[in-house]
Amino acid sequence: MRSKNLSLSFFLLLSGALLLAGQFHYLPQTERKLVLDPERTQELFRDGQVQFEIVCKPGNISSSFAAQELADYLGQALDSKLTVLSQKSGTRPALLVGDLELALAHGINPAEMDLDAYVIRSIGQDILLIGSDSPNKHPLKVEASESGSLFAVYDFLERFVGVRFYFPGKIGTIVPRLKEWSLPAIDLCERPDKFYRKSYDISNDQNALNEEYGSSYRLASLRQKRMMSWALPTTHGLAHNYLVERFRDSNPEYFALTDKGLRHDGTQDLYTPSNKYGHVCFSSEGLKEELFQDAKACLLKQSPATRNMPYNRWGPTSVPGQSFCLTPNDSMYPCRCEGCWKIFSDFKPPRTYQRMSDFIWQYTCDIAVRLQSENVPGYVTMFAYNPYERVPNVEIPANMLVQVCFNGPWAVGESQAKQIALLESWNQKLGKRPWLWNYCIQRSVQKGIPHSTPRTIGKFYQQHQQLHSGVFLETETERWHFGYLNLYVLSKVLWNVNTDLEALLAEHYQLMFAQAAPEMQEFFETLERHWTVDITANTVFTEIGPVTHPPSQNDLWSKIYSPAETARIDQLFAVAREKLSADPAALQRLEFIRASLWQPVSEAAEAYQVALNGQNELFCLMPEVPPASISPDGYVTAEFWETVPPVWLLPFYGGKTPGAEIAEVSTRVRTARDQNYLYFQFDAEEPRTAEISHKQREKDGQVWKDNDLEIFLNPSADRKTGFQILFNTLGCIQDLRFEPGHNDAKWDSGAECRISIREGEGWQAEIRLPRKSFTDAAGKPIALADRFPANFFRGRILQGQAVHYGYSWSPYVQQVHRLESYGWIGTDPAMRPANIIEHGDFTGHYQPGRRSIGKFITNNAIPEENLDRKVYRSGGVSIRMDDNLDHLNYYLTDVIKPNTRYKLSFQIKLSNLQNISEWKGSGGCYLVLGWGTGKNLYLPQNNYTGTMPWTRQEFIFQTPEKIFTEHQRAVLQLVRAKGRAKGTVWFDDFRLTELPPE
Ligand SMILES: [Zn+2]
């Protein structure tokens, strides 16, 4: 499909003639061939003697690299040092890599074969390995360079030596040790069934990978994935054609008109990153002319300067002489001009409209048709993507190449059927198989869990092979190794759709884990089953495309990876380890897989448990209001509020950017209830009251844009149906009911709100919420549970800007509607989580000059500034330890018992805490539990040092038989080692509870 048209158009250009580019082939043209002649078998290695040579003529960087790879891996297999010769000796068989002259002499012309195709052929006693190579491009350094001879080498190593490339590095590469090696005569021609093969598998640990493996990402692509050599960009071309730079000032009418009458020219609504590239007006004939001229100049390989391109280069989605992308910018803004708006006006995500698709495709097809009529070679590319993914009622010209976007292998049921129907309709329209853009993204679906689903992915592209000519699979992941088998199988299936998946996977388990293959197969199949059946199956379509609703954290850790299930998997590894005790290589692979794919799951389970325990400790008392405490205006009196303990909101980053944890302003919340109402009182510190941003808004207006407070309640405690009430500092209210994947803005809370602002100090709000307004979607009343999940949020917006992402009561919230990460409202003080330590949140009595805070005590006066009222986790204060405060004691005599199990938890934060002790491990900061017997328990095992955001810690211990005497007290000691530490540590929220005996 490839070089014919490229080289053809090149010659035509040279000769000054312009003709239509050669036909772009969606289907393979080169015939696949494999003939082995055992009659002509040659012995190439025996008794440690190498009886062949590797030859590569110098001058071609790509084939030289290929020859070196061959020498390296074959050398490992034969335990011999192999070098690459620049010419044949003629005395023994030669493996000739990339010898174009020889190839042409035998009727093999790589330039006439399919892209990425190659030949391995015995010629006399020699074997030629060759594909099309970009002569001056190093395969590791240049994307979109052709490395056909390299693909030939890798295939040769796999077929005839038994090498396997599962993932980068020695552990993921199988190189068998050969005692002897013979080959039959070979006549092989191989090419991919699917020309379009790309993946985007960037991971959070990419830097670590690169450090470990060098340029692993590219090398892995080559060795393991053998992805398409070409660049054929199809997405967001209009974002990358420098329209903003070239036309913002001169031709504002090229850009989409906004609802405010402005132009979307890269200056509007920059919260959405893609908006900086602007959005276009699809009624602008002037822009259409410019785009035509751009495409024409690019496809004719004219200088970018002729089109006034900044930096004198074409945009990243333009490939001179080959393709020019006309796809609209991402998050496309529907232009409000008269011409566009009569088409777009009824557009409401997630629905897409036929006429919207017709309109946009007409615009781009006009350009393609004109290029065709002017005999401009090459192609324009378009992406069938929301909101214009429907097949348009527009003639698609032959020089337009189409990629279709939808969810892909993990979709099930109706969502799967919908995407296949879409794909079928595109096949019918084009009379060809488009290529796809699909998603198998781990990190946006479920953190901590590997998304290894090779069978599902392989089957999907096999099952629908008649409908596609390949895929760009987007597979971002937390850890690259989570998905290595997905990529391996994807590559094999795209190269050969008839690959026997079961055999391929069975071989992987056998080669990697030897005796332990059954256990590891069970492990990988367990990962796949949980991911596809229990985690991703619940997918719904939304305005931003398909969205998967993963299971709740509770379901994940109690039902899917339940303690019993994790114990079963631990046992698989234990059995596997036992079986491999005499096979160090396989054992090493097993341990690597355990550390890379299973350990993260165990860690995530543990972190969930610790966070869960922390969440369960978040308690907000909602006492009953005595009737006498209600004022004539129907709100609760200030005197009553004084008796209710508040909770404090914490600086919140939406789980995205861990940054400063300083509460610039404090926010306290109190709650109460009576038979008919729930009451909420907010006390918000705000020295900059004059700068508060808010607007008078209608009911259910966009209050979230204002300086606001938000209440999140799950009154039934079912962790499914939540209610959100937002109000701004003018008292305007927005409210909604939410369930997983669905918001119902029609719900009316009936809330009333009273706001008072104290200039330069802050503001107070009191909300009254009728209990009867809690109803389910069917209108059925929801009764208030005695104890139910809730959260509070403050958006601090000054001068139109969010000063901080916000303040949240629960620090465990990552997504505001995740009910299971909320704290608890309880109607009875007895529901308060137990704590043996009094005022563990440092809200106990303190007086400057004294040496105690509540029952925490030290040797000298505690400086007032060591009570930190800006950095805390509970109660609006924490204790900060630095050079002015090195320890605090809390005596436990009389409150703890001998021979009893306890759990101690607390919050700790470190800032550049250094151990400056000469004795290893004796500096930094730590805790001591002294039993009053001369014996101590030190926590944690290694002292705290470094920088760490607020982190909850939990320790379980058992007290000794004997714990204190008349003369010596039991004590909990917080220590920042005197003279042996530098830097700062904060402590907060100490809790000690007795546990039942084990
Ligand atoms: Zn327009």
Q: Render pLDDT for 971-994 as a digit per residue (tens, 0 to 9).
A: 999 999 888 889 999 999 999 999
Say how many Å lie between the CA of residue 373 and the centre of ligand 1.
26
Say how many Å lie between the CA of residue 343 and the centre of ligand 1.
10
Say how many Å lie between the CA of residue 338 and the centre of ligand 1.
7
* Largest Cα–Cα separation, the chain: 110
Say how many Å lie between the CA of residue 267 and the centre of ligand 1.
17
Say how many Å lie between the CA of residue 339 and the centre of ligand 1.
6
The pLDDT assigned to 196 comes to 94
Say how many Å lie between the CA of residue 697 and the centre of ligand 1.
29
What are the residues facing 946 on neighbouring strands? 913
Q: Which of 200-214, 297-311, 901-915 has the lowest mean pLDDT?
A: 200-214
R_g (Cα) of the chain, nearest Å: 34
Say how many Å lie between the CA of residue 290 and the centre of ligand 1.
16
Say how many Å lie between the CA of residue 547 and the centre of ligand 1.
30
Say how many Å lie between the CA of residue 377 and the centre of ligand 1.
30
Say how many Å lie between the CA of residue 356 and the centre of ligand 1.
12
Say how many Å lie between the CA of residue 364 and the centre of ligand 1.
14
CATH of domain 29-191: 3.30.379.10
Say how many Å lie between the CA of residue 251 and the centre of ligand 1.
13
Say how many Å lie between the CA of residue 282 and the centre of ligand 1.
5
Say how many Å lie between the CA of residue 283 and the centre of ligand 1.
5
Say how many Å lie between the CA of residue 886 and the centre of ligand 1.
67
Say how many Å lie between the CA of residue 255 and the centre of ligand 1.
7
The pLDDT assigned to 657 comes to 44
Q: Which of 87-101, 500-514, 683-697, 942-956 has the lowest mean pLDDT?
A: 942-956
Say how many Å lie between the CA of residue 322 and the centre of ligand 1.
29
Residue 607's pLDDT band, with cuts at 50, 70 and 90, is: confident
Say how many Å lie between the CA of residue 161 and the centre of ligand 1.
61
Is the per-residue pLDDT at 77 higher than 90?
yes
The pLDDT assigned to 527 comes to 98
Say how many Å lie between the CA of residue 263 and the centre of ligand 1.
10
Burial environment of residue 871 by CB neighbours within 10 A (0 to 12, 13 to 18, 19 or more): buried
Say how many Å lie between the CA of residue 289 and the centre of ligand 1.
15
What's the CA gap between 300 and 377, in Å, rounded?
7
What are the residues facing 788 on neighbouring strands? 825
The pLDDT assigned to 4 comes to 35
What's the CA gap between 576 and 558, in Å, rounded?
25
Say how many Å lie between the CA of residue 236 and the centre of ligand 1.
18
Say how many Å lie between the CA of residue 357 and the centre of ligand 1.
15
Q: How many CA atoms lie within 13 A of 952 on its CB side?
A: 23
Q: Could you tell me the two tokens for 216? A: 């692993």
Strands 722-728 and 708-713 turn out to be antiparallel
CB–CB of 547/540 below 8 Å? yes
Say how many Å lie between the CA of residue 541 and the centre of ligand 1.
27
Say how many Å lie between the CA of residue 18 and the centre of ligand 1.
34
Say how many Å lie between the CA of residue 426 and the centre of ligand 1.
27
Say how many Å lie between the CA of residue 125 and the centre of ligand 1.
68
Say how many Å lie between the CA of residue 684 and the centre of ligand 1.
45
Q: Render pLDDT for 370-419 as a digit per residue (tens, 0 to 9).
A: 999 999 999 999 999 988 999 999 999 999 999 999 989 998 888 889 89
Residue 704's pLDDT band, with cuts at 50, 70 and 90, is: confident
Say how many Å lie between the CA of residue 241 and the centre of ligand 1.
18
Say how many Å lie between the CA of residue 297 and the centre of ligand 1.
25
Say how many Å lie between the CA of residue 336 and the centre of ligand 1.
6
Residue 656's pLDDT band, with cuts at 50, 70 and 90, is: very low
- The type of residue at 586 is A
Say how many Å lie between the CA of residue 704 and the centre of ligand 1.
30
Residue 654's pLDDT band, with cuts at 50, 70 and 90, is: low
The pLDDT assigned to 759 comes to 95
Say how many Å lie between the CA of residue 323 and the centre of ligand 1.
26
Say how many Å lie between the CA of residue 344 and the centre of ligand 1.
9
Q: Which CATH class is domain 852-995?
A: mainly beta
Say how many Å lie between the CA of residue 810 and the centre of ligand 1.
45
Q: What percentage of the chain reaches a pLDDT higher than 90?
A: 71
The pLDDT assigned to 546 comes to 54
Say how many Å lie between the CA of residue 258 and the centre of ligand 1.
9
CB–CB of 809/792 below 8 Å? yes
Say how many Å lie between the CA of residue 728 and the centre of ligand 1.
35
What's the CA gap between 872 and 851, in Å, rounded?
21
Say how many Å lie between the CA of residue 436 and the centre of ligand 1.
29
Say how many Å lie between the CA of residue 245 and the centre of ligand 1.
19
Choose among 284, 289, 393: nearest CA to 338: 284
Say how many Å lie between the CA of residue 462 and the centre of ligand 1.
42
Choose among 912, 888, 775: nearest CA to 837: 888
Is the per-residue pLDDT at 351 higher than 60?
no
What's the CA gap between 304 and 293, in Å, rounded?
11
**Can you tell me the mean pLDDT for 457-465?**
98
Mean pLDDT of the chain: 90
Say how many Å lie between the CA of residue 331 and the centre of ligand 1.
16
Say how many Å lie between the CA of residue 353 and the centre of ligand 1.
17
Q: What percentage of the chain reaches a pLDDT higher than 70?
A: 93
**Can you tell me the mean pLDDT for 885-902?**
93
Q: Which of 340-344, 434-438, 787-791 has the lowest mean pLDDT?
A: 340-344
Q: Which of 622-626, 743-747, 798-802 has the lowest mean pLDDT?
A: 798-802
Give residue limits of the domains in the chain. 29-191, 619-828, 852-995
What are the residues facing 820 on neighbouring strands? none
Is the per-residue pLDDT at 71 higher than 90?
yes
What's the CA gap between 3 and 229, in Å, rounded?
12
Say how many Å lie between the CA of residue 280 and the centre of ligand 1.
7
How would you classify residue 937: left for phi > 0, otherwise alpha for psi between -120 and 50, otherwise beta? beta
Say how many Å lie between the CA of residue 368 and the centre of ligand 1.
20
Say how many Å lie between the CA of residue 335 and the centre of ligand 1.
5
Choose among 962, 860, 981, 845: nearest CA to 916: 981
Q: Match 């190498």 to its residue by tokens.
A: 50
Say how many Å lie between the CA of residue 352 and the centre of ligand 1.
18
Say how many Å lie between the CA of residue 340 and the centre of ligand 1.
4
Say how many Å lie between the CA of residue 256 and the centre of ligand 1.
5
Phi, psi of 21 (to 5 degrees): -65, 155
With b for 16 or more beta-carbon neighbours within 10 A and e for fewer, the 136-171 pattern comes to ebebbebeebbbbbbbbbbbbbebbbebbbbbbeeb
Say how many Å lie between the CA of residue 389 and the centre of ligand 1.
19
CATH of domain 619-828: 2.60.40.1190
- Quick count: other Cβ atoms within 10 Å of Cβ 840? 26
The pLDDT assigned to 212 comes to 65
Say how many Å lie between the CA of residue 342 and the centre of ligand 1.
10
Say how many Å lie between the CA of residue 299 and the centre of ligand 1.
27
DSSP type of residue 484: H
Question: Which residues lie closer than 8 Å to 864 by C-beta, 6 or more apart?
Answer: 848
